[in-house]
Amino acid sequence: MEKVAMKVVAATALLALVSAPAVRAAEATVGVDVNSAYVFRGVTFNDGFVAQPYLEVSGLPIDIGVWGNLDIEDYDGAVDGGQFSEIDIYGSYTLPIEAVDASIGYTEYTYPQGAEADREISLSLGLGDVLLAPSLGIFYGLDGGIEENVYLEAGVSHEVAVTEDIGLSLGAVVGYLDPKEGEDGFHQYALSASLSYQFVSLGVTYYGQIDDDVLTDDAYDVEVVGTLGLSYSF
C-alpha cells in the first residue's frame, strides 16, 4: 500500500510540473473555530474546549496556510490548558485537470511542547459538479510518528440554501489506515452538518469507530464535537 500511494502522488506531482499553472486572483481568509473537543481522523487529542485559528492564502501559484490548536482546557494531564499544542504549515497546488478537481499538498505538523514534527504529502481528488460531490484523499507520512503511514479518506457532501443568506452543509467521510506498524483497516467514519450565515457558522460532527484494532479504544474518546466558526476573506 505504501509503494502504491507514493507512486500515485509522484505521478500526479510530475503532471503538475509539466502543466501550465492556473492564474487566479489572490484571496486571504482568516478565521478561528472554537470546538468542544479536538478530534483528528477519529483520534481524540483533547476532550475539552479548544480554539483553532488559521490563515489561508489562495490564488497564488500554490495555496498556503497556517493552522494552530490552542487547548483552552487540559486533557487529563496529556496537554496543558492555555497553550498551543500544535501548529501546522501547509501548501497545495491545484492541478489543471478539467475532468476532476485535483491537487497535491504538503503539511508539516509541529508541536511547540517538544514532540518531533510530522510531515505528510497528499493527493486530493473530487467531483464537485456531480451529485453528492464525491472526494478521495490519499495521505502518505514522510517523517515523524506517521512515517510511511498511508491514510485514505473517501467522502461525500451536499450544500443546501436554507434561505437567501443561510446555507446548510452536510458531509460524510470514511477513513482507511495502513500504518507502518500495527493493524490496517477501516479506521473511522464521520458525519457532519453545519449552518453558515455570512462570517459565522455552527456545526456538529459525529465520529464513529469502525475497527477497535485500528482505531483503538484509548485513541477513540470523543464521539460528538460542536463547532462555532468565525471567518473573514479579503
Tens of pLDDT, residue by residue over 186-224, are 999 999 999 999 999 999 999 999 999 999 999 999 999
pLDDT band for position 25 (cuts 50, 70, 90)? confident
Q: Tell me what pLDDT residue 91 has.
A: 98
Q: How far is CA 165 from CA 29, 53, 89, 143, in A?
A: 19, 24, 32, 44
CB 117 within 8 A of CB 144: yes
Kindly state the percentage of the chain with pLDDT values over 90.
80
When the pLDDT of each residue in the chain is averaged and rounded to a whole number, the result is 91
Per-residue pLDDT averaged across 114-143, rounded? 95
Name the pairing type of β-strands 135-143 and 43-46. unpaired
How many Å apart are CA 189 and CA 46, to the nearest integer?
Answer: 19
pLDDT band for position 24 (cuts 50, 70, 90)? low
